[in-house]
Amino acid sequence: MLKFIYKNRFILLFFTLLFPYFLHPLVTQELLGLTLLDFSFSLVLIVGIFAASSRRHLAITALCMVILVQILTWTTHLVSSHELILAGIALNSVYLAYTATILLSYVLKSRSVTGETIFASLCVYLLVGYIWAFFYSFADDLDHHSFYINQSLFTDLPLGHHIFSKVYYFLYFSFTTLTSLGFGDIMPSSSWTRMLSSTESMVGQLYLVVMVSRLVGIHISQSVGKQEK
């Protein structure tokens, strides 16, 4: 089972990253719904360990971070501590950035275009969206005036206060920003959040241009090399 997960770690991570995003509209903000969302994101973290386990020390570091993240996440359901919530959001961001960096390094070092290379590059793109969602959540937790959220369009905003209170709403905002879509239902209303959102938009566009160009270039080199043989 572990060998299967490791062999298919990038494609599994890709679909587990999509799972919480598509699950969120289907569940309520009640305890059961929030618990399902927490478990779905826990799955992302666990599969991320395998994705980051190209070397033993990388896997151990990822595992330690996941354990600490899980402790903070479930503790904030019991104790609504502002400091614990900020620490949990920050550590989630660090872990996701750590995983994205390892996957990006794997893609950049690849000398051939395979299914693994493609799914690893797609995972990096989705991880960027998740990382910025936690950035936005962190900013909102520090200052609740950091974003303007149209209450008439988001009538189901959670009343509780824990790590994932608004992360999934900011995940929606993050991906609309990353793809330069933007609907205006959630808007940054401080200089810091405007800077964060515009930076994410630039990163999203630059990543697509550079990564697609690189993968196409490698594929052409592969094709030429095979023809010469």
Give the pLDDT confidence score for residue 4 in this predicted structure: 84
Is residue 32 over pLDDT 90?
no
Name the average pLDDT for the chain.
86
Give the predicted TM-score (pTM) of the model.
0.91
Domain chopping of the chain, boundaries: 2-228
Q: d(Cα 165, Cα 86) in Å, to the nearest integer?
A: 12
Mean pLDDT of 111-139: 93
Q: Does 19 have pLDDT greater than 70? A: yes
pLDDT grade, residue 207 (50/70/90)? very high
Q: Indicate the range of 73-77, 99-103, 168-172 predicted with least confidence.
A: 73-77
CA distance 64 to 56: 12
Look at residue 225 in the predicted model and tell me its pLDDT: 62
User: What confidence tier does 161 reach under pLDDT thresholds 50, 70, 90?
Assistant: low
Q: Let me know: does 41 contact 92? Beta carbons within 8 Å.
A: no
Average pLDDT over residues 39-65: 88
Res. 29: pLDDT tops 70: no
Torsion, CA 201, CA 202, CA 208, CA 213, rounded to 10: 170
Element (H, E) at 105: helix 82-109
The answer to whether 165 and 37 are in contact (CB under 8 A) is no
Inter-residue contact 215 to 110 (CB < 8 Å): no
